[in-house]
Amino acid sequence: MQQAPHIRKSLLQWFQEEARDLPWRKSQDPYHIWLSEILLQQTRVDQGLPYYERFLVALPTLPALAAASEDEVLKLWEGLGYYTRARNLHKAARQVMEQHHGSLPESAEILQLLPGVGRYTAGAIASIAFNERVPVVDGNVKRVLPRLFNIAMPIGESATEKKLWAIADALVPESAPGDFNQSMMELGARICTPRKPDCDSCPVFSE
């Protein structure tokens, strides 16, 4: 993939300079990163921020989450919707305590065995928290990759999904995979938007 070195360099430099100042990006605690990924699955960043902060005040560690009652967890989640996320987060914390000695697994493959953790979420946690070289393909990346590589295949079809995951995997660098994955998602959220993408500001094409 000839474009890969340029894409990596451009996005990593842009992310280092322009990334949004978000609290979970200041933490290396896998629990914080996991919580942020679950919160943001179906929630805007600005909406999820106060919930993230409130959740960590009440349940600052994974053992604290595992020891909490389901009612307490759901109360902290109240108003955010999609309550299955909260229930699975709670179940997963108890599973981690029982099966992994209270520490989140470091590989995406094992993380996917936890309730509520699919391929994308596992890749995000593993790459950001544990520096594992694995790809992520969320809604933003599904929009960015077809535009970068001029892919006209219909989004949502299994063949398209397979191709996008393969491209994402080929792009992820050995060094700073978490930063690179976040840069792809950040690009989709801020510049390569669904409507009226700001192509003139795209770090990949602006050089």
Please list the active-site residues.
37
Cβ 180 vs Cβ 171: under 8 Å: yes
Distance CA 82, CA 66 (A): 20
